[in-house]
Structure 1
Amino acid sequence: MALPNIFTQAVADEVINRINQLKPDTTPNWGKMDVAQMLAHCNVTYEMVYENTHPKPNFLMKFILKSFVKRIVTNETPYKHNSQTAPVFLIKGSRDFEKEKRRLIDYINKTSAAGEASFDNKMSLSFGALNKQEWNNMFYKHLDHHLTQFGV
């Protein structure tokens, strides 16, 4: 079953509506992150696309990521609860809820406005070139996983 297309405005709006239901004191159904940390965690995916703040993996790490992790991240199978994450996605310390929420909404809108065609065969920092379906699955599945984690 295909995942909803995050590049369409209707799906982007649905996800943003879910984000807007979060409150600074929303508690998770599983996991260790608080809601502000979760939003910052979700922003990392977009930072890797739009910002130059994360180091590129070395040759060996990129080989491992492409060979073993890419399929898990870009397929349609939902993530399991309490799955391990890459070190760059680990958020330590407190974060500003409103700031992280606004950043995430802005990234989602920017991605939707760019459209799926701009992501077809676009290079991923971790996985190399991804087609538009792989980008969609990665973006949507990750957001859906964490919004479900926080009950929205």
Structure 2
Amino acid sequence: MNWKNLFDEQESKETIEPIQNLTPETQNKWGKMNVSQMLAHCNVAYELIYTDKHQKPKGLQKFLIKLFAKNLVVGPKPYKKNLRTSPIFLISDEREFEKEKTRLIDYITKTQQLGGAHFDGKDSHAFGALTEKQWNTLFSKHLDHHLQQFGV
């Protein structure tokens, strides 16, 4: 499947538009997260790049993540509904809707402005070096999955 190129300014804006249409009352079509938790969940993918908030996996744990999860995350197939997520992405507490929404839009914008060349060959949190295309798939597929989850 071809995912939106979030390194492209126009396609990035097309991804941000439905996020801007979310409200605190937007209901999910499946899953357990409310809309604020979903936004916080999506922010984790960017926190892994732009912050040191999350400890990196090492040794056997990193090897197993690369072996079993990498292709699922950066491969072309869409995520299935209610797919189990990594513990680092679990959001169970309440989050502030506007704060999480703004953070996500800012992360998408920052990523687009840095551009694909910035990410090409850059190490990910758990998968090692990824190509520009793999980085884009990681970002775009995850956002698309959760925007569908909330019907926008």
What TM-score range do you get, normalising by the shorter chain?
over 0.9
Name the structure 2 match of 1:80: 80
Aligned partner letter, 2:134: E
Name the structure 2 match of 1:135: 135
**RMSD of aligned alpha carbons:** 0.6
Name the structure 2 match of 1:9: 9
What is the CA deviation profile of residues 35-85 of structure 1, one whole-angstrom value per residue up to 9, with x for unaligned ones?
Answer: 000000000000000011000102111101111100000011100000000
Shift of 1:2: 2.4
Uncovered stretches (5+) of structure 1, i.e. residues with no partner: none
Q: Higher mean Cα deviation, 1-10 or 137-146?
A: 1-10
Q: How does 1:41-120 map to 2 (within 5 A)?
A: 41-120=41-120
What is the CA deviation profile of residues 93-147 of structure 1, one whole-angstrom value per residue up to 9, with x for unaligned ones?
Answer: 1000000000000000000000000000000011010000000000000000000
- Paired positions, count: 152
State how far apart, in whole Å, the 2-side matches of 1:125 and 1:137 are.
15
Uncovered stretches (5+) of structure 2, i.e. residues with no partner: none
Give the TM-score, by structure 2 length.
Answer: 0.98
Name the structure 1 match of 2:124: 124
Name the structure 2 match of 1:21: 21
Shift of 1:4: 1.7
Kindly, what percent of the aligned residue pairs are identical?
Answer: 54
Which segments of structure 1 move beyond 2 Å, counting only runs of 4 or more? none
Give the TM-score, by structure 1 length.
Answer: 0.98
- 8 Å CA contact 2:4–2:12 kept in 1: the answer is no
